[in-house]
């Protein structure tokens, strides 16, 4: 396990390298009137898979490798509510042989500070055997384009 990236490097819009809009839904709000914490993870895997499909050529119906989530986490800084469209920020925090860890954050539109940020790790496995498989080259190249280099 790599050392986690410091929280101060996760909360600003400028610290993310790719963005995608996300429309919230009526049912995302829970009984307390805020978006339920579990939905944040559905936003996170939506943006990561959107990047893999659109920018890395992943074919989720046919490719011989698929990506499984092995670890995820999220820090909630301020509540979000439906209705609004969010901006999801995306980057790669770490790339290994068969795994990749993404950094993600949710922003209200035009906000510079994130409402929540988190990370999750995909392990690429063979679709038929579930055995780990090196990240295919074209996907690796796509992931490297959004690799986050922390300022030193």
Q: Quick check: 87 and 114 in contact, CB under 8 A?
A: no
Residue by residue, DSSP assigns 101-114 as: EEEEEEEETT-SB-
Judge residue 106's burial from the number of C-beta atoms within 10 Å of its C-beta, 0-12 exposed, 13-18 middle, 19 or more buried: buried
Q: Does 71 bind its own copies (CB under 8 A)?
A: yes
**In this chain, which of 57, 64, 73, 150 binds its own copies, going by CB under 8 A?**
73
- Site residues for its own copies, 92-151, by CB under 8 A, read 120, 127, 130
**In this chain, which of 60, 97, 113, 150 binds its own copies, going by CB under 8 A?**
60
Q: Quick check: 107 and 10 in contact, CB under 8 A?
A: no
Query: Interior CA angle at 104 toward 102 and 108, to 5°?
Result: 170
**In this chain, which of 11, 18, 19, 46 binds its own copies, going by CB under 8 A?**
46
- Site residues for its own copies, 26-45, by CB under 8 A, read 26-27, 29-34, 36-45
Question: What are the residues binding its own copies (CB under 8 A)?
Answer: 21-27, 29-34, 36-46, 49-50, 53-54, 60-61, 66, 68-76, 79, 82-83, 120, 127, 130
């Amino acid at each position: 396990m790599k050392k986690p990236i410091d929280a101060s490097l996760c909360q600003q819009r400028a610290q993310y390298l790719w963005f995608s809009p996300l429309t919230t839904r009526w049912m995302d709000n829970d009984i307390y009137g805020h978006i339920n914490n579990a939905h944040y993870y559905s936003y996170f895997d939506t943006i990561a898979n959107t990047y893999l499909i659109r920018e890395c050529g992943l074919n989720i119906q046919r490719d011989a490798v698929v990506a499984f989530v092995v670890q995820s986490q999220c820090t909630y800084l301020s509540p979000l509510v439906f209705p609004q469209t969010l901006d999801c920020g995306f980057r790669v925090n770490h790339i290994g042989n068969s795994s990749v860890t993404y950094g993600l954050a949710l922003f209200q539109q035009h906000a510079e500070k994130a409402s929540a940020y988190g990370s999750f790790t995909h392990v690429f496995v063979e679709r038929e055997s579930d055995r780990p498989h090196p990240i295919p080259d074209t996907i690796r190249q796509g992931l490297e384009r959004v690799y986050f280099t922390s300022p030193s």
